[in-house]
Amino acid sequence: MATARRPTPAIFVLYGATGDLARRMVLPAFYTLAEQGLLPEDWRLIGSGRGDVAHEDFVGHVHRSLEQFGPKPDNRTWGQFRKKLRFAGGDFANDDGGPLIEAVRQARQDLGEDAQLIHYLAVPPQAFIDLTDSIGKHGLAENARVVYEKPFGTSRKSFRQLDRAVHQVLDESQVYRIDHFLGKEATQDLHVLRFANRVFEGMWNRDHVRAVQIDCPETLDVADRTDFYDHTGAVLDMLVTHLFQVAAEVAMEPPASLEPADLQAARESIIAKFRPLDPDEVVLGQFAGYRDLDGIARGSKTDTYVAARLWVNTPRWRGVPFLLRTGKRLAETRQTVSLILRDPVGPFGDLPPDGNVLRFALDGSGEIDLRMVAKAPGVGLKLGVASARVPISEVAAEEPLPPYVRLIHDVLTGDRSLVTRPDGLAHVWKAADPLLSTRPRLKTYQPGSWGPAAAKKLAAPDGWLLGQ
């Protein structure tokens, strides 16, 4: 299994440095690495973006990001951190590369020519190709690592175009396609708990599991991300990225080892067994009032909700529905994986509903919740449901790393365990293609609800475990 190691000196170029993703996720993650002593002994973070932003203004922007999204900057760490920040505005795609070329040259002079160069593209997917071309054109690709946020493409066709463009400039070993759901401690625990515990490993198949639910509702709206979201929607933002990857974690066959290459191979090979989505087994929704938000196109057909039934064509899972659901402005914010177990053959007849469920909470450091049928106290034989909860944090010797912190640290150290590969992504887009080609009609749902009523039929006969 891969272990943490000290990164070498690094130059971290953050494209879209003043954008929403950098502000909410990337900059706070980078500061957390500094707080925990997980950055190289020497480094530079060069923010890149359009517009003429003064160096001190960028430093102030980073400080405000930390004040709002944490961790709160303290005097000691922040005093050292701010000294390593730079900003290079202008149009990187122009002929001379703009100020970024000079900023990288100066950083290399300060840190040494052997410093690791990392490009992080915290920009919309439509900007990936131009930025990748510019990285190659301006001589910044050699021995560099390049990080791409999801979604890597927006369709089967655009994925192929992007993949070709990337490999014209970069070797696959330089490419880090990240998905922050794979960076979650609890997601990584799925395969550890399964393969390291006989009690789980023995029941992880169609003989014992009736259905799998991967449910990620959100109470949040899209107010801070309207431009990105209206060009993306729930299917691209969550279903074919996060939820497909979690489904692969649940469904994969045992890897040869827990080394990065073997984990990647196990995860990607199972995605090849995903049956293409049937649009008749998908419900798309849009919350009432979405089109009234600033920045949303009038008459927008963007989905803010998706529920889908996915099938995995392997002997282990054949005939077991994987029910995937996510949406904005729903009743709760949760992230769960639930295995609904088959009722045992025995003398009891009908058992209480939801009495045989193994649930993994993906929030925070994670939690296991085993619901089981038990005798209710009192005279006579009356059945009830008991629950046993095990917080994964109880076994932790250290504080869990937030997803972006873990993923950026992996990039700094060259750990590819949680990086998605092009073969797996090709299968993702193949599975999603029928839905993207023939989209079901949008159904309106009320904010604060559990989404369109039509989605209940997908989860029959059990129903969705959340929201009942």
CA atoms of 53 and 414, how far apart (whole Å): 31
Phi, psi of 118 (to 5 degrees): -125, 125
Task: Answer yes or no: is 92 a known binding residue.
Answer: yes
Q: Is 410 marked within a binding site?
A: no
β-pair type (116-121, 85-88): unpaired
For 334, residues 6+ apart whose C-beta sits below 8 A from its C-beta are 215, 216, 217, 361, 363, 466
**CA–CA distance, 36 with 4 (Å, rounded to integer):** 13
Residue 17 marked as a ligand binder: yes
Of the listed 119, 242, 409, 427, which one is catalytic?
242
CA distance 136 to 420: 22
- Please indicate if the annotation marks 103 as binding a ligand: no
The answer to the question of whether 237 is labelled as a binding residue is yes
Is 91 assigned a ligand-binding role in the annotation? yes
What are the two backbone dihedrals, phi and then psi, of residue 111, each rounded to the nearest 5 degrees?
A: -100, -15
* Contacts for 398 with CB less than 8 Å, ≥ 6 apart: none
Task: Phi first, then psi: give them for residue 326, nearest 5 degrees.
Answer: -160, 160
**Amino acid letter at 158?**
S
Binding residue per annotation — 16?
yes
Give the 3-state DSSP-derived string for 328-360, with helices as H, strands as E and coil as C: CCECCCCCEEEEEECCCCCCCCCCCCCCCEEEE
Instruction: For residue 242, indicate whether it is catalytic.
Output: yes
Q: Are strands 209-217 and 10-15 parallel, antiparallel or unpaired?
A: unpaired
Q: Which residue has the tokens 């690592």?
A: 145
Give the separation between CA 187 and CA 213, rounded to whole angstroms.
Answer: 14
3-class SS at 267?
Answer: helix
Q: What strands, in cross-sheet order, belong to the sheet with 10-15?
A: 85-88, 43-48, 10-15, 116-121, 145-148, 175-177
Query: Is 72 annotated to bind ligand?
Result: no
Residue 209 phi/psi, 5-degree rounding, is: -110, 125
d(CA 85, CA 117): 15
Find out whether 42 is annotated in a ligand binding site: no
Q: Report, in angstroms and rounded to the nearest whole number, the Rg of the chain calculated over CA atoms.
A: 23
Q: Which residue has 């070993």 as its token pair?
A: 173
Q: How far apart are CA 289 and CA 261, in angstroms?
A: 45
23 annotated binding-site participant: yes
Binding-site residue numbers are 16-23, 50, 91-92, 150, 180, 184, 218, 237, 328
- The catalytic site residues sit at 242
Q: Residues comprising the binding site for substrate? A: 180, 184, 218, 237, 328
